[in-house]
């Protein structure tokens, strides 16, 4: 497995491979890898010939400086996991390589930018699309893999592709969970033993909606799911919603084509997100 710290070195590696007709996949990450990330690598291997994983903790998408400061960075462990998974190359630039100078970035991502995560992390998706655009430019992949765990992120990246008319296929990968249902996340490492137990309410509340979808109205489903959070000390719900999977607006009717239940909550000091697709 090759390791690249600069765009120049990465491009020099990729150019002959592209010229020989090989298909390139990019798996963008912020490191602190777990089996969710490895599932993206494995799916990439089914869809391309050469797999590049990027590891970059992107400062412009963090809206809370403490969150950025304490973001885990176990790089040796990450490299061992990627090697074991059969990844071909790792792009791990420093901040100067990706942001050599101060730059303005603003693109129209549509109304959904300001909902859900966009409401609680103002400007987050400008930062995400700014860095993903730079990563796409550095790798020029044929396909790029993103996790459904960041449901809204996938929509925003697809909107960015449309905005720039980029010829990249986005593949959305299912959420990988721990045995008890907790969605894997790099931030889970911050959970205390008590938080770890409390965090199960996220997947349980989503599963409640899936299991009881035919029994209750949309508002009853939301109410009953939210009630599961009441009285859990140390858990603070940011939002629980059943939304239209294309617009992310609250669902108006159970008959809408794509419906998804999404949640974000602070568990102790750690903010977690999760979702389940209803249909």
Q: Which residues are annotated as a binding site for beta-alanine?
A: 61
The whole-angstrom distance between residue 77's C-alpha and the CA centroid of its chain comes to 20
Total number of residues that touch ligand PAF (CB under 6 A) = 10
Q: Which residues are annotated as a binding site for ATP?
A: 30-37, 147-150, 176, 184-187
Q: Which residue's Cβ lies closest to ligand PAF?
A: 28
212 tagged catalytic: no
- Nearer to ligand PAF by Cβ, of 187 and 204: the residue is 187
Q: Which residues are annotated as a binding site for (R)-pantoate?
A: 61, 153
Q: Is 150 in the site for ligand PAF (CB under 6 A)?
A: yes
Q: Is 78 in the site for ligand BAL (CB under 6 A)?
A: no
Contact letters for ligand PAF, residues 14-43 (x by CB under 6 A): --------------xxx-------------
Measure the CA–CA gap between 58 and 159, rounded to whole angstroms: 20
> Among candidates 22, 1, 85, 46, which has minimal Cα distance to 173?
46
Eight-state DSSP code of residue 250: B
Q: How far is the CB of 208 from ligand PAF (least distance, A)?
A: 26
Q: Is 274 in the site for ligand BAL (CB under 6 A)?
A: no
Among the listed residues 37, 124, 163, 190, the single catalytic one is 37
Q: Is 148 in the site for ligand PAF (CB under 6 A)?
A: no
Q: Which residues are annotated as a binding site?
A: 30-37, 61, 147-150, 153, 176, 184-187
Q: In terms of C-beta density within 10 A (0-12 exposed, 13-18 middle, 19 or more buried), how is residue 103 classed?
A: exposed
Residues 78 and 55: beta-carbon distance below 8 Å? yes
> Among candidates 205, 249, 198, which has minimal Cα distance to 228?
205
Among residue numbers 132 through 171, which ones bind ligand BAL (CB under 6 A)? 150
Q: Is 55 in the site for ligand PAF (CB under 6 A)?
A: no
> Among candidates 261, 76, 254, 247, which has minimal Cα distance to 175?
261
- Nearer to ligand BAL by Cβ, of 177 and 224: the residue is 177
Among residue numbers 253 through 272, which ones bind ligand PAF (CB under 6 A)? none
Contact letters for ligand BAL, residues 51-70 (x by CB under 6 A): ----------x---------
The long-range contacts involving 202-207, CB below 8 angstroms and separated by at least 24 positions, are: 202/263, 202/265, 202/267, 202/272, 202/274, 203/177, 203/274, 203/276, 204/228, 205/229, 205/240, 205/263, 206/261, 206/263, 206/274, 206/275, 206/276, 207/181, 207/276
| Measured CA distances, 124 to 1, 171, 214 (Å) | 32, 21, 35
Q: Which residues sit at the interface with ligand BAL, rule CB under 6 A?
A: 30, 61, 150
The catalytic site residues sit at 37
Which residues contact ligand PAF (rule: CB under 6 A)?
28-30, 58, 61, 128, 131-132, 150, 153
């Amino acid at each position: 497995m090759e390791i690249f710290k600069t765009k120049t070195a990465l491009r020099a590696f990729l150019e002959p491979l592209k010229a020989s007709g090989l298909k390139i996949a990019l798996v963008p990450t912020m490191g602190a890898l777990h089996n969710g990330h490895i599932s993206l690598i494995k799916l990439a291997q089914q869809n391309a010939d050469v797999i590049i994983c990027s590891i970059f903790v992107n400062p412009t998408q963090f809206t809370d400086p403490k969150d950025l400061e304490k973001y885990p960075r176990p790089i040796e462990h990450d490299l061992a996991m990627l090697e074991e998974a059969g990844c071909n190359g790792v792009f791990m630039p420093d901040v100067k390589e990706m942001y050599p100078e101060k730059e303005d970035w603003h693109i129209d991502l549509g109304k959904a930018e300001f909902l859900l995560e966009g409401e609680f992390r103002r400007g987050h998706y400008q930062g995400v699309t700014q860095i993903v655009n730079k990563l796409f430019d550095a790798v020029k992949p044929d396909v790029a893999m993103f996790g459904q765990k960041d449901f809204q992120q996938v929509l925003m990246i697809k909107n960015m592709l449309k905005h720039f008319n980029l010829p990249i296929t986005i593949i959305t990968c299912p959420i990988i969970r721990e045995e008890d249902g907790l969605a894997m996340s790099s931030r889970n490492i911050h959970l205390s033993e008590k938080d770890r137990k409390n965090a199960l309410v996220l997947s349980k509340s989503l599963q409640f909606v899936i299991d009881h979808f035919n029994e209750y109205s949309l508002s009853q489903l939301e109410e009953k799911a939210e009630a599961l959070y009441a009285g859990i000390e140390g858990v603070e719900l940011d939002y629980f919603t059943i939304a239209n999977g294309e617009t992310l607006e609250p669902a108006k009717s159970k008959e809408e084509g794509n419906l998804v239940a999404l949640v974000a909550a602070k568990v102790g000091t750690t903010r977690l997100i999760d979702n389940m697709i209803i249909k």
